[in-house]
Amino acid sequence: MRNIINETCSNNPDLAPKLTSQEAFEWLTAIDDDWILDSPNQTITRNFEFKNYYQTMAFANSCAWIAHQNDHHPDMTVTYRHCILSFTTHSVNGLSINDFICAAKIDTSLI
C-alpha cells in the first residue's frame, strides 16, 4: 500500500470512485489502526480523546482546516473530551480514496 499523506482529493467520481468492500479493507491498512470500518463498508470512524475542551476544540479546528484544504469534509461530533470523525464520500454513496487520504492527513496532524 502506498503512502497517501501526499495524495490530493478529487471531486471527480471517475478519479475517486466508490471502493469495493475489499478495496476499503485494503486501504484501511494505510491509516491508523484506531479507524473503524463499519459493517457495510460505507464509513470509516475514529474517536479521538483529549484532556480538556480546549484541546478537543484545537483538534476539531485543525481537522476543519485539513478538510477545507482537501475539499472533503467529515461528519464531526465534538464533546468536552472527544471528537468523533466519520468519513464517507456522499457523491459515490460509500467510501472513496478521498476518505482515506483525509484520515491519513488527520492522523499525521497528531504527531
Mean pLDDT of the chain: 94
On the question of pLDDT at 3 being above 90, the answer is no
Task: Give the residue from 34, 45, 33 showing the smallest Cα distance to 95.
Answer: 45
Q: Domains in the chain, please, with CATH?
A: 30-109 (3.30.1360.20)
pLDDT digits (tens, 9 = 90+) for 46-83: 999 999 999 999 999 999 999 999 999 999 999 999 99
Place of cell 491498512: 29
Greatest alpha-carbon span in the chain: 42
**How far apart are the C-alpha atoms of 25 and 89, rounded to whole Å?**
16
